[in-house]
Amino acid sequence: MRTSTHPDRPAAARRSPRPADRRFGLGVALATPFTSEGRVDLARLVVHARHCLDAGCSTITLAGTTGEGASLGMGERSAMVEAIGAAGIDLRARVLIGVASSSVEDAVTQSRQLLDAGGRGLLLAPPFYFKDPSEDGLFRWFAAVLERCADACDVILYHIPQVTAVPLSPALIGRLKTAFPGLVTGVKDSTGDWPTTARLLAEHGDLHILVGDERLLARAVREGGSGAINGFSNFCARALAPIVATGEDVPGLARLVTELCRHPVTPAVKALVARTRDDVGWLALAPPLLPLDAAARATLDAEFDRFLAASTGA
């Protein structure tokens, strides 16, 4: 295990990687496959979920950002949970679901679809329709949802303000973990901003601080982070799993993330899933998202090839 060496941080401020038994691990924000008719392809979903778990993921999160959760209706979400459970995947140990709604009732319904089936927990985004809500208003909204989901093993608060336009302040996170101890267990930080991640680690290191931007993952793990829920695990989980275990950087990863982020992220992730699974059916997306064009996919494929060569030493 490598010791973190960051000359910009005094030695006393450096943290150590979490013990293995206190880590969340590597979670995949599972991409959602669609048929040519635009329905969720449940058979392909189950195969992909098993593939990601076999590749080193400890959990899968259905209907997150990468899973196009905001485009999925209640019926589709319910069918996905049922299919995953029927396939023999341990819902209590392995499965979370993304919750994205501005209505308390709908957020609870999305949550209960998994929890009533015996699922593990929630990746809970704030009510995104309402801009600049007060901290008190956000606290009341989260509390109204959480009071009806008290049987979850894990509730991960989802901090992705570039999408929701509703940031979760450290003070709000503190209020929620105090009001719901043992229920609010983590924060997924998808800002891609190291000072934000560092503050969460400093102020809420008792929670699972999970990183969405793979470029920050190794450093976060070295400084006490608990793992990740990310989109890259859809196509390169085997390369990412050692980062969560040791905090070691993976050669070429930052460059691949930067190239992927030059494109719409979910279509780019699905393009690389299609590439690695040799299955063009993965290019399908729910409207309003559209697949990458051939030129963009070729550019991304070339960068992915460079990543594979660098990470394997080939």
158 is catalytic: yes
Q: Which of 143, 200, 145 lies closest to 167, judged by CA?
A: 200
* Tokens matching residue 40: 């969720």
User: Which residues are within 8 A (CB) of 242 and not within 5 positions of it... i.e. 6 or more apart?
Assistant: 248, 250
The answer to whether 207 touches 221, Cβ cutoff 8 Å, is no
Distance separating alpha carbons of residues 70 and 90, to the nearest angstrom: 25
Select which of 32, 59, 61, 65 is catalytic.
65
At residue 189's C-alpha, the angle toward residues 184 and 191, to 5°, is 150
C-alpha to C-alpha distance for 125 and 140, rounded to whole angstroms? 14
* Known active-site residue 131: no
- Rounded to whole angstroms, the Cα distance separating 237 from 85 reads 22
Q: Are 17 and 242 in contact (CB under 8 A)?
A: no
Q: Answer yes or no: 197 catalytic.
A: no
Which of 188, 191, 266, 270 is the catalytic position? 188
What's the token pair of residue 3?
């010791």
188 is catalytic: yes
176 in Cβ contact with 142 (< 8 Å): yes
Question: In angstroms, how far is CA 209 from the centroid of its own chain?
Answer: 12
Cβ-Cβ contacts under 8 Å for 274 (sequence gap 6 or more): 280, 281, 282, 283
Q: How far apart are CA 195 and CA 173, in angstroms?
A: 16
Can you tell me the distance from the alpha carbon of 180 to that of 145, in angstroms, rounded to the nearest whole number? 11
Mapped onto helix, strand or coil, the DSSP state of residue 158 is strand
**CB-based contact 140:112 (threshold 8 Å):** no
Name the active-site residue from 61, 66, 158, 185.
158
Residues taking part in catalysis: 65, 129, 158, 188
